[in-house]
Amino acid sequence: MTKDTGPTLDTQLWKPRSVAETRALYSGWAKDYDADVTGAGYETPARLAAALAAESADLTAPILDFGCGTGLSGKALAAAGFTTIDGTDITPEMVAQARALGLYRELTVSEPGTAPPAGYAAITATGVVSLGAAPPDTLDTLLGALAPGGVLAFSYNDATLADPRYMQALEGAKARADLLSEAYGPHLAAKDMGSTVYVLRKR
């Protein structure tokens, strides 16, 4: 059973849209985002943070929360024990909410498609590389920003798992990296939606 979960989640969130439409959607949603997705049982951030922690020897090494949004994904990383978390996102209004949390070391508003700075031990993308948000080639861009041995952890929701373009990008990423873990589980419980969390280590 699905239930009403706020106007943005109840409309078609997981459909293709332009960058301008994506920014408009998230800038208009920024204030209500946390209440809506938390109310809908958003479980992917905690699952992804735990999966990354299981593969990380040093929780103090700097990590980048790519597509950090309002900071729910960063909060989950901090709860899993990570201590040095930077965040970046294309939507200024989402980043403003994240800034108010005070948990990120650095926060930046980025341009879509721009490679993050080098030097991170790990990059996460929680609910970001997805139909209606960042495009499939984002995986390639994020892997490119990691040094060999760096770890990329990301999630694909059900709609994304059903999209051949995103699955092809996943195959491309697996060709450049070792798959450390892959686990399907709940994404938004109220929507009966799942996601797969992948953790890859760049070769």
Ligand X SMILES: C[S@@+](CC[C@H](N)C(=O)[O-])C[C@H]1O[C@@H](n2cnc3c(N)ncnc32)[C@H](O)[C@@H]1O
- E-only strand ranges, the chain: 63-66, 85-89, 107-109, 122-125, 151-157, 177-188, 193-202
Whichever of 56 and 126 has its CB closer to ligand X, that residue is 126
Whichever of 49 and 121 has its CB closer to ligand X, that residue is 49
Whichever of 26 and 104 has its CB closer to ligand X, that residue is 26
| Cβ 152 to ligand X shortest distance, Å | 14
Which tokens in the block code for residue 175? 């060709």
Whichever of 29 and 202 has its CB closer to ligand X, that residue is 29
Reduced to 3 states (helix: H, G, I; strand: E, B; else coil), residue 19 is: helix
Whichever of 162 and 178 has its CB closer to ligand X, that residue is 162
| Cβ 127 to ligand X shortest distance, Å | 4
| Cβ 167 to ligand X shortest distance, Å | 18
**Cα-based distances in Å from 24 to 78, 109, 117, 133, 146:** 28, 15, 26, 11, 30
| Cβ 93 to ligand X shortest distance, Å | 9
Q: How many angstroms separate the CA atoms of 112 and 129, rounded?
A: 12
Beta carbons of 126 and 89 less than 8 angstroms apart = no
Rounded to the nearest 5 degrees, what angle is found at the Cα of 12, between the Cα atoms of 123 and 169?
A: 35
Binding site for ligand X (CB under 6 A): 22, 26, 45, 67-69, 72-73, 89-91, 94, 112, 126-128, 133-134
Give residue number: closest CB to ligand X: 69
Beta carbons of 156 and 12 less than 8 angstroms apart = no
| Cβ 113 to ligand X shortest distance, Å | 6
